[in-house]
Structure 1
Amino acid sequence: MRLGLIGFGNIALTLLGQLAETLDAPLEHLTVLCLPEMTGETQARLAGDFAKIAKEAAVVSDAGALLADRPDLVVECAGHGAVTAHVPPVLRAGIDVVIVSIGAMSDAALERELRAAAAGGGARLILPAGAIGGIDLLAALGAAGGLEVRYRGSKPPLAWRGTPAEAVTDLAALSEAHTFFTGTAREAARDFPRNANVAATLALAGAGFEATHVELVADPAALGNVHEYSVVSPLAKYSMRIENQPSAGNAKTSVSTVYSVLREIRNRIGPVAI
C-alpha cells in the first residue's frame, strides 16, 4: 500500500506505532503532509523511529505534493483546518480519504464540498467509528427514518481545558459531574472541535446534526472518556456506554480512535474486511 498521512501529531504517531507492530510487511510508500516548519523534525522521526514502516517515505507540505506520490489511501488526523485545506483536492483526484476530524463536517458548506468532491472524483470519504461503537446499527436504522438520538460525553475536567467550557465552569474546582453544554450535534462539534467528533459521527450516521441531542460533561470521577448514547427507532431501540482510555499524548482523544483508523487501513490491506 501507498499510504498518505495528513498531520504528524499524537494520533499520527500512535497510528504509525501500531502499524509498525501489526503490519505483515512494510508499506510500499508513506507520505506525510505536515506544516512547512515541521518538515525537518518529521523527516528525522520517520528516518529514526519509523524507518522500517515503509520501503520509501517522503514529507511534503501541500496537497499537490501529496498527490504526486500517488497514495492509494489518505488518512487525515490534523484537525478541522486540515480537512478544509487538503481533503477536497485529494477526493477530487479520485483518492479515498479517512478523516479523523469528523466534526469539521458540522460546517454545512464544507460537508457539501466534501460530498461533491468525492462524487466528482469517484472517491470515497470514509468516516471511521472512532471512539464510539454501534455505528453500523445506527446507520442501518437511519434508512427507515424516525430516529431519536441522544448523546452524553463525559471526560475529566483536564480534557476540557482550552475549550469554551472554561468560560462557564470552574473546571479546577469541580467536585462532582457538571453538565456545561446542552444543544445539537452541530453546535457541539462546532464549539468543541477537539472533543466532540463523536457527536458528529452519530449525527452523520443517524438523525442529522440538528436532530441529534448532545450533553457534554466534566466529571472529576471519570477515569477516561465516557461516551453514552441512546437510539429510538421504529425498528429497534438500543443504548450504549463506552469507557475509553484517553490517549497518552492528548487527554481530549480516546486511544480507541487510533485503533479505529488502524482497522480501516488493515481492512484495505488484508484479504478479509470486518
Structure 2
Amino acid sequence: MKIGLIGVGAIANYVREALKSRNEMLAAVLVRPSRVREAPELYVGAVADLPDDLDLVIDCAGHAALVEHGPAVLLRGFDLLSVSLGALADPDTYASLEQAAAKGGARLHLASGAIGALDCLQAARVGQMESVTYIGRKPPQGWKGSPAEDVTDLDTLVSGEVIHFEGSARQAALRYPKNANVAAAVALAGKGFDATQVRLIADATVTENIHQIEASGDFGRFTFQINGKAMPDNPRSSALAAMSVLSKLDQLTRSISL
C-alpha cells in the first residue's frame, strides 16, 4: 500500500517504524506548515499537497488534526484510519466526517485504541443492551494537564483515589480530549455517546492505566479490564493504541481477517 501519515508524535513514529518493517510505502507525512522544511522530501503542510495515488491516510495526530484535516482527506477520496475517536463526540465533527466520506466515496476506519472487547459490545448491541459503563483509572500524574486538576491536587494525592469525573461518554470525550478516546471507543461500539456512562479516577495506588468495561443486556453480563502500559518515549500515549492502528491496517489489507 501507498500510505500517507498525519502527525509526528509518539504513536505516529511507532507506526512509521512499523511500516518500514512491513515494506509498506510511506509516501508523505502531513505536518504543520512550519515543519515542512525539516524533511521537504517527505513532509507536506496541507491535505492538498498529498500525492494523488495514496491508498490510505493514517491519522495519529489527535482530535484537532482529525477535525482540521479529516474532512479534506475524505473529500479527496482517500480512506482514513484514525485513533482519535473522541473527536466524534462532537455532533458537528461527526456529521462533517460522515458527509465528506459520502461525497468523496471514502471510508473512515476507527482503530480500537487502548481498549479491547469492542467486538463483544458490537455483537451485544444487536440485542437489547441494558447498560454500559467505562471506568478509567490512572496514576495521579497520568491526569496532569486535564480537567482533573480542577477537582483535586494531583501532586499531593499520594494515597487512595479520587473520582474526578462521572457522566456520559460524550461529556467525557469533549472535556478530556487527550484522555477519553477509550470512552469514545466504548460508546461507538455499544450504546452510543449519551447512553454510555463513564467514571474517571485518579488512583495513587496504581502505576498503570487501567481500563474497565462493564456491560449487561440480553446477552448476559461481562466485565473486561486491561492494565495498559505507556509508550517508552511518551508516558501520555498508550502502547496498545499504537498497536491498534497496525492491527486495523492488517484487517484492511489481509484477504482473510478476524
Question: What TM-score do you get using the length of structure 1 for normalisation?
Answer: 0.88
- Which of 165, 182, 192 matches 1:208? 192
Aligned ranges 1:1-274 → 2 under 5 Å: 1-21=1-21, 23=22, 26-41=23-38, 43=39, 58-66=42-50, 68-174=51-157, 175-274=159-258
What amino acid does structure 2 have at the position aligned with 1:225?
Answer: N
Is 140-149 or 129-138 further displaced after alignment? 140-149
Note the C-alpha offset of 1:247. 1.6
Is 79-88 or 113-122 further displaced after alignment? 113-122
The CA RMSD over aligned residues, in Å, is 1.6
Q: Secondary structure of the residue that 1:113 maps to in structure 2?
A: helix
Contact 1:160 1:218 (C-alpha < 8 Å) held by counterparts: yes
1:120–1:236: structure 2 CA closer, same or farther, 3 Å change rule?
Answer: farther
What amino acid does structure 1 have at the position aligned with 2:196?
Answer: T
Per-residue CA deviations over 1:102-157 (Å, capped at 9, x if unaligned) read 10011011111111222222222111111111111111221224341001001111
Greater than 6 Å deviation, 4+ residue runs: none
Contact 2:5 2:57 (C-alpha < 8 Å) held by counterparts: yes
Contact 1:158 1:251 (C-alpha < 8 Å) held by counterparts: no
Note the C-alpha offset of 1:29. 4.1
Distance 2:203 2:37 in 1: 40
Q: Percent identity?
A: 40
Contact 2:166 2:200 (C-alpha < 8 Å) held by counterparts: yes
Contact 2:5 2:26 (C-alpha < 8 Å) held by counterparts: no
Contact 1:165 1:180 (C-alpha < 8 Å) held by counterparts: yes
Contact 2:135 2:198 (C-alpha < 8 Å) held by counterparts: yes
Distance 2:170 2:143 in 1: 18
Is 216-225 or 3-12 further displaced after alignment? 216-225
Distance 1:244 1:166 in 2: 22
Note the C-alpha offset of 1:223. 1.9
- In the comparison of the two structures, how many residue pairs are matched? 257
Runs of 5+ unmatched residues, structure 1:
45-56
Question: What TM-score do you get using the length of structure 2 for normalisation?
Answer: 0.94
Runs of 5+ unmatched residues, structure 2:
none
Distance 2:205 2:254 in 1: 40
